[in-house]
Amino acid sequence: MKQATERANRTHPVRLVAVSKTKPVEALQEAYDAGQRVFGENYVQEMLDKAPALPGDVQWHFIGHLQSNKVKAVIEGVPSLAMVETVDSAKLADKLNKVLEGVSGRTGPLAVMVQVNTSGEESKYGVEPADCVALAKHIAQNCPKLRLAGLMTIGMPDYSSRPENFTCLAACRDAVAAELGLAPDSLELSMGMSGDFEQAIEMGSTNVRVGSTIFGAREYKPKSPPASPKK
């Protein structure tokens, strides 16, 4: 990350989000002990299980698809939730804002990113690039408990990204900044994962989400075989 930042002649450090889905708390604690403070989870239940087991100064980023019916659980259950990177509808933004209005103890608005589907894949969540300005404007104007931090993309079907995915997100960021009267650099770009984070940094990413390069390949529990029919 440092080398990629230097190659791009950038001065501001890039945030590393350690993506820890399916990994045990012990692995996260090891990363914490090495100095990592920002962790990303894709599933609400995993974040709810892990957050209480780690030190309170961990900053949690939610980076998976967030269903409206899970918003209350993650807001109330993870006081150190620092960012939701995957806001892809006005409905979700409104739900987050409404739940936050009823929560005490949080200081300041919750940072959120607009997730943009830069690959055009129907299987990917996120707004179409043409719709990102409208959603960003809705958050900025109608959701006082949220702070628009930037934009996020996943990329291609295999979770890799191509240069056009990165340039598309940067163009969306510029369009949002122009509409809201902001400096483009005031909005973050969350793009780049284990296979392409260096290229993403060179193309302007401020937030990379790296899992397997840190923790190793993910270990998914095998599905139970179907029960034998009764004789």
pLDDT top residue among 225 and 214:
214
DSSP classification of residue 127: B
Residue 229 lies in a domain: no
pLDDT of 223 > 60? The answer is no
Integer Cα distance of 120 and 126 in angstroms: 10
Assess contact for 220 and 23: CB atoms under 8 A.
no
Integer Cα distance of 191 and 204 in angstroms: 9
In degrees rounded to 5, what are phi and psi of residue 45?
Answer: -65, -40
Torsional class of 24: left (φ above 0), alpha (ψ -120 to 50), beta (otherwise): beta
Mean pLDDT of the chain: 91
Assess contact for 210 and 27: CB atoms under 8 A.
no
Helix or strand holding residue 87 (H, E): strand 81-87
Here the tokens at position 55 are: 């030190």
User: pTM for the whole thing?
Assistant: 0.91
Q: What is the reported pLDDT for 195?
A: 87
Residue 10 lies in a domain: yes
DSSP classification of residue 28: H
User: Which residue range forms the structural domain that includes residue 52?
Assistant: 1-210
pLDDT in tens, 70-118: 999 999 999 999 999 999 999 999 999 999 999 988 889 999 999 999 9
pLDDT in tens, 41-79: 999 999 999 999 999 999 999 999 999 999 999 999 999
In degrees rounded to 5, what are phi and psi of residue 49?
Answer: -75, -40
Q: What is the reported pLDDT for 119?
A: 86
Integer Cα distance of 72 and 93 in angstroms: 13
Torsional class of 126: left (φ above 0), alpha (ψ -120 to 50), beta (otherwise): left
pLDDT top residue among 129 and 230:
129
Burial degree of 156 (CB within 10 A; 0-12, 13-18, 19+): middle
- Chain-centre distance for alpha carbon 117: 13
Instruction: Assign 210 a pLDDT band (cuts: 50, 70, 90).
Output: very high
CATH number at residue 52: 3.20.20.10
Residue 226 lies in a domain: no
Q: What is the reported pLDDT for 231?
A: 47
Q: Structural domain tally of the chain? A: 1
Residue 203 lies in a domain: yes
pLDDT in tens, 137-148: 999 999 999 999
Residue 215 lies in a domain: no
Burial degree of 25 (CB within 10 A; 0-12, 13-18, 19+): middle
Residue 86 lies in a domain: yes
Assess contact for 193 and 156: CB atoms under 8 A.
no
